[in-house]
Structure 1
Amino acid sequence: MRELYFGAGVSTALAGAADTLRHVSLLDDAGLDVFTVSDHPYFGDRLDAYSMVGVALGRTERISGLVNVTNLPSRPAPMLARAITSLSAMSGGRVILGMGAGGSWDDIARLGVPKLPPAAAVRAMEEAIILIRALSGGGEPLTFDGEFYHVKDLPPAPVPAPPVWTGSVGPKSLAATGRVADGWIPGHAADWLSPRYRESRPVIDEAAAAAGRDPADVITVYNLPGVITDRDLPSPRDDQGRWRGGSVRQWTEELTGAVLDHGASGFTYFAPGHIPTDKHLSRWANEVVPAVREATAARK
């Protein structure tokens, strides 16, 4: 069984910066694999995602950081390459590159970024992933003349590129994920039993195979909101089949099945309302995650 990733999303609220740093330390101490932050630079009351990741990595020892997912249109690929390789170098490789084509274009345009049609935005994302990898790992100066990015005689950083996970939703974006990404974060909190997952994952697999890749090399890591209750809920899923949470036992049973029966490679927990507290994160990190790790290891 491949490596499993267990993570949690933390707040990007400017007013909650101290709580966010404490929460990341809590996750690190508990042995989680990754913390994630959102990227909405057009909101003045939010912290900058990459500044957050940098400071948090500097205060932790084991956990990796992930921007879930990077607002690519506002972060040109050559500069993003420098940022991500710098973070990797300073943290001992504790970073994952989350990539998105851009979803809230009206908000993005307020930053002065020209709007791209959806198909062009996806092409820009795929090109950016290729360029960022080319600007990592050392080698001769790079000249790249793409559709969206152009660099000349630019030396790559002598740091390996991190894994790249996308937040792809549409068919063109899913196909790009299959061709060039290492992981997929299903959009809209879709899980392994949802129609969105069942319809989307084959697009990734077919594109990966057509590109000469093993589809299994593109892992699936789920954003998973929900409550963690003291007692079992009558049903951990609602009438539409969407996961809503339950007791530690119910979470353990559900996630163990997701790994062993549906090939899940990881889970990022989001507290109710996406406003984590010490209690939410502690129950996830210290009760649910160890139980799922033990259960999956026992059934290998």
Structure 2
Amino acid sequence: MPDYGHDLVLGTFVTPEAGVAEEVVGLAGLTEEVGLDMVTVQDHPYNAAFLDTYTLLTWIAARTSRLRVSANVTSLPLRPPAVLARVAASLDILSGGRFEMGLGAGVPIPAARMTGRRLSAGESIDALEEAIDILRGVWDVDADGPLRHQGEHYEIPQMKRGPRPAHDIAISLGAYKPRMLRLTGRKADGWLPTLDYIKEPGIAESNRLIDDAATEAGRDPRQIRRHLNLFNIGFSPVGKAFLQGPPEQWVDDLLSLVLEHGFSGFYIGGDDPDMIRTFGEEVAPALRAEVARERGTT
């Protein structure tokens, strides 16, 4: 299933450097100004040089009018899911439905240094799966009775559900290994890897693992959006390598990822205002037009 048919979501991946906070917020404003859809922010609460990601996302949402915001991806071990659910719902309400959830199992050693609790890789994935259920349980205000959860990693004896988000918040997972990919297929709304980190399994096999797990869980694999973070990229007059060349080469390179591998969300890193402007003003409209032409929706 090469193209899953989702509308394109194009945006940026910014670094929340506390020392240049206004520049960081400015990059988000530029993302909106040039017509892109979303700004995403890496979440490393153990990095003392970084702004808190959720505080920054709230600030950005307040300073913009249509830009969607997301952590890329939330460090679950340092964000208790019951509280995270209310943070996310609050941000979604305040922004008029512009928040999406990127979620990851976390980096074990730095998280353990802040919490004193270190999980194995397998335990981290189990905790992530529990967290997805808790997040959705808190947001499901129409369910009968309070939310109760008795798991290996989280225990919620009884809590009131809510508040209801302004829209159905999508949960996308930063996944690379088979077990995480299968969890993505079973329970997530999206897959959110970084291209440089997809090694083994590769893109095609990763998509197959997600699709098979979705099918086994009774889901349509087309429900799951495929996002991609892009680094080591740049514009130049002549092509040098993948996503290193003129805007028209970028259009061709990204189009191949859409049609051959089903990606529909692209977030560029590098914190370069000129690259963001070119991506938004030259690449994005041309790419949208090419995708529409290939799909026959022009």
Q: Verify the 8 A CA contact 2:243 2:250 in the aligned structure 1.
A: no
**Is 1:283 equivalent to 2:278 in the alignment?**
yes
Alpha-carbon RMSD across the aligned residues, in angstroms, is: 1.8
1:172-211 equivalences under 5 Å are 172-187=179-194, 189-190=196-197, 196-211=202-217
Q: Which residue of 1 aligns with 2:76?
A: 72
Letter in structure 1 aligned against 2:289: E
- Please, what TM-score do these two structures have when normalized by structure 2? 0.91
Letter in structure 2 aligned against 1:117: S
- Among 100, 111, 114, the residue aligned to 1:111: 114
Q: Distance in 2 between matches of 1:262 and 1:172?
A: 20
CA offsets 1:197-229 (integer angstroms, 9 cap, x no match): 123221111111111111121121111124332
Q: Which residue of 2 aligns with 1:144?
A: 149
CA offsets 1:15-74 (integer angstroms, 9 cap, x no match): 111001111111112221111111111111111111110100011111111100000001
Q: Which residue of 1 aligns with 2:246?
A: 247
- Among 112, 126, 129, the residue aligned to 1:126: 129
Give the secondary-structure state (helix, strand or coil) at the position aligned to 2:263: coil
Q: Verify the 8 A CA contact 1:31 1:63 in the aligned structure 2.
A: no
CA offsets 1:90-142 (integer angstroms, 9 cap, x no match): 1111011011011x311111112400011110011011011100100313321
Q: Distance in 2 between matches of 1:26 and 1:250?
A: 23
1:156-235 equivalences under 5 Å are 156-160=161-165, 161-187=168-194, 189-190=196-197, 196-233=202-239, 235=240
Letter in structure 1 aligned against 2:293: A
Unaligned runs of 5+ in 1: 237-242
Shift of 1:297: 1.7
Shift of 1:260: 2.5
- Please, what TM-score do these two structures have when normalized by structure 1? 0.90
Give the secondary-structure state (helix, strand or coil) at the position aligned to 1:40: coil
Q: Distance in 1 between matches of 2:138 and 2:12?
A: 29
1:261-276 equivalences under 5 Å are 261-271=260-270, 276=271
Q: Distance in 2 between matches of 1:18 and 1:182?
A: 32
Shift of 1:280: 1.9
Q: Verify the 8 A CA contact 1:183 1:218 in the aligned structure 2.
A: yes
Unaligned runs of 5+ in 2: none
Shift of 1:188: 5.3
CA spacing shift, 1:130–1:195, aligned 2, 3 Å: closer
**Is 1:55 equivalent to 2:59 in the alignment?**
yes
Q: Distance in 1 between matches of 2:251 and 2:153?
A: 45
Deviates more, 1:281-290 or 1:71-80: 281-290
